[in-house]
Structure 1
Amino acid sequence: MKQICALLAVCASVSTSAADPEVQDFGKTKDGTAVQLYTLKNEKGLTAKVMARGATLVELHVPGKNGKSEDVILGWDSVAGYESEDNQYFGCTTGRVCNRIAKGKFSIGGKDYTVATNDGPNHLHGGVERSLDKVVWDAKAYSNDKGQGVRFKYTSPDGEEGYPGNLKCQVVYFLAKNANRISISYKATTDQPTPVNLTNHAYFNLAGAGSDTVLDHVLTLNADKYTPADDTLIPTGKIEPVAGTPLDFTKPKRIGARIEKLTDTSALGYDHNFVLNAKQDDSKPYNHAATLLHKASGRRLRIMTKEPGIQFYSGNFLKGQQGKNGKTYAHRSAVCLETQHYPDSVNQPNFPSIILKPDQEYQTSTLLIFGVSGQK
């Protein structure tokens, strides 16, 4: 009898540790497509929830120094919120080309292409109706001895939102079993040359989503340089040092310390692309991009990436919309740290290229590593 009980205990243990993510209904899109929500959990107290519409990060519950967990990203309680006008790309996968394309125009191999101008005179985050944040991806949850994940796939057809080529995309969220670390990995292939630049658009407030401000957070960016932009936030093509400007976060700095110096610019605060410094160790796959710290809760976020740049946006256009659990998302109450290639790279020959060719595979990934200040 003792042997049987011991065997059952072992089996239960194996089943629990290898359990796939929980799945639940998250509502239907306006066209009636059912969307599911996937819950990833680990042994360190972190819970992440992702949904199939937009391959979107919906919730991220992270413990602080007192052991209490808070959901640290903005979002909505159902699909309906993400389809509303109040949604500002919360947590989604943006593309085919994230960030901006000047005047919605680019050329490849002598052929001109036009995409939607949905941000003043420019194209932003992939388009209007069928950008990657607005479609429902195929999803498959899985687990292994290292943790839990969800693999999202979507094929963007030739001509969708004006982009050339059939683009097969994959985004994988994976939560480590024994560390508060989430990887977001991307792959894509195409049958025609086409621009590709994918990122995640999570809005972070390490005090908890719905807290008053993010200006008390301390930010460090591994970037000595940035790409100056014109009044429509399109890069001029130059790369200049951050030293002596309000953009210098090479050492830890409170976000609110100098933001008022930027309020009379078109960005209305921080909305800048930073050029990441070269990796110190080429044997390692990831480069340190940013560290965000909220001293009161002790929560710390380190971002590692394979991308050359990071867009720092200080929530300048948040307008008090009510999100999850009725919480209010006030002006500058969250920050985006989007790892990516530089804005308008498709039109800037001196920037790293974002053109994917049929004989290539687009691959990149970013790590979100959470910890508590003063702890390893």
Structure 2
Amino acid sequence: MIEFIELKNNLGVEVTLCTLGASIYDIKTMDKDKKLESIIYTTKDKKDFITERSCLGKTIGRTGGRISNSTYTLNGIRYTIPSYDPNGLHGGIDGVGYKEFDYKQNETEEYYEVIFSYFSKDMESGYPGNFNLKVIYKLYKDINKLTLSYKGISDKDTLVNLSNHSYFNLSGNAKGSILNHSLYINASKMERIEHLLPKEIVDCKEIYSFKTMHKIGDYLMHPEIKNNTNGYDFPYIFDNWNKDLFNVVLKDPDSKRVLKIKTTYPVVVIYTCNYTGREIMNNDKVMTPYYAVCLECMFHPNTINSDFLQDKKDILKAGEEYNQAIEYYFDIEG
């Protein structure tokens, strides 16, 4: 049975998790006037959260992002990922984001912890190896901090590139679009996208760069972006990567809410909710383009099929531990 787990810290942050996809259903934080509102673009009805296919808040994997032509070759064997998308999006139609996880809860003096567990069988969704996966959330009691840890081990070489696909909107209950949100990314290089697939590493041109914080809407409608991906949908490569740096910062000028991100991953994919959906969202409207931004920290997507990337970090060797993390910090500007 699919369950929702609610956590609340001493500073008023409320987090609702779900056993389907070890996912984030909602996060609520205070604005400048201490008004508690959702900063996640999510479905109004929990039943819709269970049936939607936009990966709202889900753990995407075994591989986040696209795998070109939904196929890859590993150790001389060719594998196919069953997918609605021609390029094996977010682990395919049978990815871990739509699996029911077991869970247990712990509490320490510092934090509330939820440990989600799932056993992905050999060849499930086109991935070799029996893969034991844990997704661990910690909501800190006296710091506005939520951490996500991904841990796993496989008995065969396999592909793993896990992330969270939450749709952020700091305005509060998605009362406005994210075009007025300001975004900082510690990246001067990105991957050029062609037909939604990475083709090469390039310097960030002005219309793509967030190295200097500016509004998401400043260049989103530029023809080069609109005609390619209908909005931002690009992997950014962190400069001088350090897991202790805030490599991504998102701000809303009206509510004054701030989201800061640290991660062990070297890349963040920025996706600005470029297409509509059918579900009624928590602003009582159908999912609308540019009403959220996904900040997907991960390894380079589609590394297995990319000649321009030699470091295949998404290949998990048999018996080796997958161990990556994302940290969200919630703040008020000023």
Note closer, same or farther for the CA distance 1:263–1:358 as it changes in structure 2 (3 Å cut): closer
* SS of the residue 1:62 aligns to: strand
For residues 159 and 120 of structure 2, the distance between their equivalents in structure 1, rounded to whole angstroms, comes to 13
For residues 282-324 of structure 1, the C-alpha deviation after alignment (integer angstroms, 9 at most, x for no partner) is xxx4343210000111100001100010000111113473124
Distance across 2 between alignment mates of 1:292 and 1:337: 10
Q: CA deviation at 1:328?
A: 4.2
Secondary structure at 1:103 match in 2: helix
Is the 8 Å Cα contact of residues 41 and 291 (structure 2) preserved in structure 1? no
CA distance in 1, matches of 2:219, 2:30: 29
- SS of 2:241's partner is coil
Specify the alignment match of 2:322 in structure 1. Answer: 362
CA separation in 2, counterparts of 1:90 and 1:206? 16
- Partners in 2 of 1:116 and 1:209 — Cα distance? 35
Q: Distance in 1 between matches of 2:278 and 2:46?
A: 19
1:67 aligns with 2:20: no
Tell whether the 8 Å contact from 2:272 to 2:289 is kept in structure 1 after alignment: no
TM-score (norm 1): 0.84
Shift of 1:136: 0.5
Gaps of 5+ in 1: 1-33
- Aligned-residue Cα RMSD (Å) equals 1.6
Tell me how many residue pairs correspond in the alignment: 331
Summarize the alignment of residues 50-89 of structure 1 with structure 2, pairs less than 5 Å apart: 50-84=17-51, 86-89=52-55
Counting only pairs closer than 5 Å after superposition, residues 105-124 of structure 1 correspond to structure 2 as 105-119=71-85, 121-124=86-89
For residue 149 of structure 2, what is the aligned residue in structure 1?
Answer: 185
Letter in 2 for 1:111: I
Q: CA 1:187–1:145 in 2, change beyond 3 Å: closer, same or farther?
A: same
Deviations 1:160-216 (A, max 9, x none): 111100010000111011111000000010000000000000000000233231100
Q: Give 1:97's match in structure 2, choosing from 63, 72, 77.
A: 63
Distance (whole Å) between structure 2 residues aligned to residue 59 and residue 367 of structure 1: 16
Contiguous gaps of at least 5 residues in structure 2: none
Mapped to 2, the partners of 1:351 and 1:219 lie a distance apart of 28
* Relative contact order, higher structure (CA 8 A, sep 6+): 2
Taking the TM superposition and a 5 Å limit, the aligned residue runs for 1:115-134 are: 115-119=81-85, 121-128=86-93, 130-134=94-98
CA contact (8 A) 2:238 2:247 kept: yes
Partners of 1:189 and 1:165 in 2: CA distance = 9
Alignment partners' CA distance in 2, 1:210 and 1:325: 6
User: What TM-score, normalized by structure 2, do the two folds share?
Assistant: 0.95
Considering only CA atoms, is the larger Rg found in Structure 1 or Structure 2? 1
Q: Please tell me whether residue 44 in structure 1 is matched to residue 44 in structure 2.
A: no
1:235 CA displacement:
1.1
Q: Deviations over 1:70-110 (max 9, x none)?
A: 111022355521243x5411101010001000001111111
Q: Secondary structure at the match of 1:353?
A: coil
Which residue of structure 1 lines up, in the alignment, with residue 221 of structure 2? 260
- Three-state SS of the structure 1 residue aligned to 2:270 is strand
Percent identity, aligned pairs only, is 30
Shift of 1:142: 1.4
Matched residue type, 1:372: I
* Distance in 2 of aligned mates of 1:300 and 1:269: 22
Structure 1 letter corresponding to 2:328: L
Tell me whether 299-308 or 202-211 shows the greater mean CA deviation: 202-211
> What SS does structure 1 have at the residue aligned with 2:125?
helix
